[in-house]
Amino acid sequence: MTNYGVAEWYSGRSVFITGGTGYMGKVLIEKLLRDCGDINFIYVLCRPKRGFSPAARIEQIRKLAVFDRLRIECPERLKKIKAMEGDLGQPGLGLSDENKSILINEVSIVFNGAASLRLESGLKDAIRHNTTGTKHVLDLAVEMKKLASFVHLSTAFCHCEYDTLDETIYPSPANPEDVMRAVEWMDDHTLEIITPRLLGPHPNCYTYSKRLAESLVSEYANRIPISVARPSIVTPSFKEPVPGWVDSLNGPVGVIVAGGKGVIRSVLCSPDYEAEVVPVDIAINALILIAWKRTFIDNKMDDVVPCYNISKGDIVHLTWGETLAKGKRYAYEYPFDAGLWYPNGSIRTNKLMHYFIVFWLQVVPAYLIDGIMVLARQKTFMVRVQKRIAVGMEVLQYFTMRSWNFKIENTKSLIKNLNEADMKKFYIQNTDIDIEKYMIQVLLGARQYCMKEPLANLDRARFHLKLLYWLNMVTQLLFGFFLLWVFVRAFDSFKFLLDSTTNSFINVPIIGSLIPK
């Protein structure tokens, strides 16, 4: 079979994307439109939200900063994004007959990236979105007349009990069909009781539901040309569409922002374990190549599903300790606007000390701040923020307190048949990442795109940081004097008690004669 270039292979084909309105989905759409410009249409599954129709939501997405480069270089390509009203949790994806017919007759490539990324979500929600939703997409794909490649987006942590994860489908801990049926007829209380037994080694319902979804995917292996992509923790972009682009506070970015704002004072983490992260543009390039390569493996369907672990592997070695230390250092150089306190959080491995610090330096101040807000007749927010942080950190620390070895041989093989131009366009090697420069990009990206804080405000933010520094120093000094005062008062009280006790004993005839005067 002719080995087409990547853009040439995508030329004239239509793509169907679930999860296209999410973080990775938007980067995928932008990359396809920019570097595979002759693509036909990109159909995005989208449901009404907050009073906006699917078409209106897509129009809003076109205006986002992620598409700035496209709007300048080739704005007409943005018209190729088409909204498909539907719902992942509904049979047939809730598509109208007309839209379903369009997808069945026109689509050649499917990227199934929709998922409930709320790691703290319950079992019913996770199964409906991540497992049942995947089944609905698979059932539709079976009917597609031109289907050439189906890429299922999983996660590298869906088999978290394995220290070493090979690029293969592992046995499922339960029959996905049984679990999908169970969550539909069981009441929430019963589900809550049985959830721990179902999850087993899984830290949350998200990784468990994604594991079941992989099992479902394997059952369709001899019916559609399917592949599985498993990215690790996805971080802001390395190069494209712009360095540091991010619009999600999930994962390490949320920790960096909260830490930079002075809201997080302690992170439970094993500093010597390597950070299993991958920039979003590298992950997206891998997805595009996975779909392309599926037609060149052996051009037939069998029971073996090609799997690709998308992570740093053995290429880049960066520990959590180094990551957070660099992030902290650069947070002083490029501070966030309106920090609540001086950012001086630390990594801890001792749980008792971690929770002690969290209570005194996060929870107690949150209640104090909200108390002041109540007195000022303003809306409270800090306790609510701390509760959300507590849930997020509880989930995240599972991944920062453990170490994995993800095999990436299949992923590295994606570039073997690429020509020189495609290797530059669809880069997946991260050997040339300057970690120092990348950390600055991450901070500035989180600042600009997540927090909507323009770089023009940096000087003001630095001045504000200096004020917070001196406020923090004065507070620590006053607290030190307070502890000293408490100690002196306690010592005086103890001395008074000792003297009183001694005098009492002196007045006892027998004992008093033994005490020197």
* pLDDT given at position 110: 97
Q: Which residues contact 411 (CB under 8 A, 6 or more apart)?
A: 167, 286, 308, 309, 310, 313, 428
Can you spell out the DSSP letters for 457-480? GHHHHHHHHHHHHHHHHHHHHHHH
Interval 335-341 mean pLDDT: 85
Average pLDDT over residues 16-43: 94
Rounded alpha-carbon distances, angstroms, from residue 135 to 102, 198, 295? 20, 20, 23
pLDDT tens string 468-511: 889 888 888 887 788 777 777 777 666 666 666 666 555 555 54
What percentage of residues in the chain have a pLDDT greater than 70?
91
Alpha carbon separation from 426 to 66, 92, 175 (Å, rounded):
17, 33, 37
pLDDT mean over 119-148: 88
What residue has token string 């499922």? 172
Evaluate if residue 449 carries a pLDDT over 60: yes
With CA atoms as reference, report the closest residue to 290 among 11, 28, 22: 28
Lowest-pLDDT range, 210-214, 266-270, 298-302?
298-302
Q: At what angle do helices 252-260 and 382-400 cross, to 10 degrees?
A: 140
pLDDT band at 1; cut points 50, 70, 90:
very low
Neighbours of 210 (CB within 10 A): 25
Out of 187-196, 280-289, 504-513, which region has the weakest mean confidence (pLDDT)? 504-513
Integer Cα distance of 155 and 310 in angstroms: 9
Q: How far is CA 134 from the centre of its chain?
A: 20
Query: In whole angstroms, what is the distance from residue 235 CA to residue 283 CA?
Result: 10
Higher pLDDT, 476 or 214: 214
Residue that has been written with the tokens 């190729």 in this structure = 80
Of the listed ranges 1-10, 188-197, 225-234, the least confidently predicted one is 1-10
> Across all residues in the chain, what is the average pLDDT?
86
Unique residue bearing structure tokens 């408490």: 486
pLDDT digits (tens, 9 = 90+) for 74-91: 999 999 999 999 998 888
Q: Does the pLDDT at position 298 exceed 60?
A: no
Percent of the chain with pLDDT over 90: 35
33-42, 257-266, 391-400, range with the lowest pLDDT: 391-400
Residues 6+ apart with CB under 8 A from 278: 231, 232, 233, 234, 235, 310, 311, 312, 430
Gap between the Cα atoms of 455 and 67, Å rounded: 19
Q: Indicate the range of 378-382, 437-441, 500-504 predicted with least confidence.
A: 500-504
Q: What is the pLDDT of residues 480-491, one digit of tens each?
A: 788 777 777 777
pLDDT of the residue at 504: 59
Q: State how far the Cα of 210 lies from the Cα of 156, in Å rounded to an integer.
A: 10
**Are the C-beta atoms of 374 and 380 separated by less than 8 Å?**
yes
pLDDT at 288: 96
pLDDT tens digits for 220-268? 988 999 999 999 989 999 999 999 999 888 778 888 888 888 888 888 8
